[in-house]
Structure formats: structure tokens, C-alpha cells
Amino acid sequence: MVKACKDAGVLLMTAYRCQYTPHHWAAREAVQSGRLGQIKLLHSVNVQIEPNEGQWRLKRKLAGGGSLPDVGLYCVNTVRFLLGEEPCEVSGTVHSTPGDERFTEVEESVTWQMRFPSGVVAQCACSYGAATARTIDVFGTGGRLAIDPAFDYQNLRLTVQTGQEVTEVRVPPEDQFRLETDHFSRCIQEGRAPYTPGEEGLQDQKIMEAIYRSAREGGRPVTLERFEGRDVFRGPAPERS
């Protein structure tokens, strides 16, 4: 897709709505500004129950994979967005409940770890077999932040803790789809690269394939190509109101 769009002279944008929402930008700024001190750990979970055996998400031909490329992708991508870094190593495990006929074609649950060049470690989990939870927690030497829920379409909640003080960052409600669509429309009108081009989505695919590879090999760590600098796959930052 990246090559086809370049050859055709048209823009390609990956619709990563969480990279356009005010809550996630406020979290990113807290992480990268030093407000939380040196970041050490991240933890992200995105789980939900898929009760219907005939649901398209549980059919490999229709879905391409199980919980990882569907809901787990949000964990992979948002951690990368908050840090602005690319992981240099991943390890993972895949599990499906024995005898559960829902998961004969795709996996139920995936847990994985991403290690970053700065030394930050992210622990993530996704599943189609547990009650809904969509969270991100960031832990630094000077504080922590949490987004819970983190990946819903509305009613996101961001809290930041430094010392004993816990502050909720209140953000006016926004239509997440409008924000990303307005950005892409402006990029087309002005002939400039979108913030989340096709290369941003391709990088996530490579990371997820490495997680699957690690799981197939008994959880052995898989080394990824190392990239220097920040936001190496992203275009200019989106307009902020």
C-alpha cells in the first residue's frame, strides 16, 4: 500500500485516532516533558469478550489474526506514540483456552514485552476472553499517569500523580474521527505528509509479526531493527485546537 500510493502520487494515512485525541496528547506531553521524571515502565491492557463463535473477528480469513492485530494493536501503537521511540526487542506468548471452540482459528490472548533503546520496558496484554478493560499506565522516577479507559471512543480519563498529589487532566470532549479526518483533509489540501502515514502502520505490523515469532519460538526475545531519534515514521505534528 505504501509503495502503491507513492507510485500513484497520492497520500496514504493510517487511521490511528488515538494519535489525534487531546487526552493522548496530554499524556504524551507529560511523558516527554520530564514531568514524570525518567520513564521506567509502561503497562497497557486491551481486553474484551467475543462470545459469538461465528463472529468475523474469530475467522482467520476475515480477521487475519486474533486479539493482537485487533485490540492489541492499540497497546503497541499508543506506547510508541507516548514515548516517541521504537522498540529494539520484543518477546511474547500466545494462549487460547483448551477446548474453547471460539479460538480454533485465531488466538484468544497475547502477552508481550517491548524493550526500548532508552531502557524503558513496556508490558502489554490483549484478549478476546476477559471482561472489558482498556488501560495505559506510565511509571517514572517522579510520578505516574494513567488513562482509564484509554481506547474508548469517548469518556476517556487521564490522571497524573506526582508525589501524593493526583490530578485529573480534564479535556473538552472531541469527536476522535473528526480530528483525524480534518487532519487528513488538510494534508490533502496543502500537499503535506500526514502525521500517521502508511509507514507508521507498517512498523506496527513488523512489531506484531516479531511478537508472533517470539511466541512460536517459546518466548525467545526477537531483536528489531534499531532506529535513532524520535517519531521516525511520523509526519509533521497535527494541528492542535
pLDDT at 156: 96
C-alpha 88/C-alpha 119 separation (Å) is 10
pLDDT at 224: 98
Strand partners, 112: 92, 124
147 domain-assigned? yes
Count up the domains in the chain and report the number.
Answer: 1
What is the CATH classification number for the domain harbouring 34? 3.30.360.10
One digit per residue, pLDDT tens: the chain, 241 residues? 999 999 999 999 999 999 999 999 999 999 999 999 999 999 999 999 999 988 999 999 999 999 999 999 999 999 999 999 999 999 999 999 999 999 999 999 999 999 999 999 999 999 999 999 999 999 999 999 999 999 999 999 999 999 999 999 998 889 999 999 999 999 999 999 999 999 999 999 999 999 999 999 999 999 999 998 999 999 999 987 6
6 domain-assigned? no
77 domain-assigned? yes
Neighbouring C-alpha atoms within 13 Å toward the C-beta of 192: 11
| Domain span at 52 | 19-205
In the sheet that holds 121-127, the strands lie side by side as: 165-169, 158-162, 144-147, 129-140, 39-49, 121-127, 109-115, 89-95, 222-223
81 domain-assigned? yes
Task: Look at residue 161 and give its three-state secondary structure.
Answer: strand
**Residue 112: all three cell numbers together:** 508481550
What phi, psi does 157 have (nearest 5°)? -135, 120
231 domain-assigned? no
pLDDT at 240: 74
pLDDT at 123: 98
196 domain-assigned? yes
C-alpha 90/C-alpha 179 separation (Å) is 31
Q: Residue length, the chain? A: 241
Provide the whole-model pTM: 0.95
222 domain-assigned? no
Neighbouring C-alpha atoms within 13 Å toward the C-beta of 101: 3
24 domain-assigned? yes
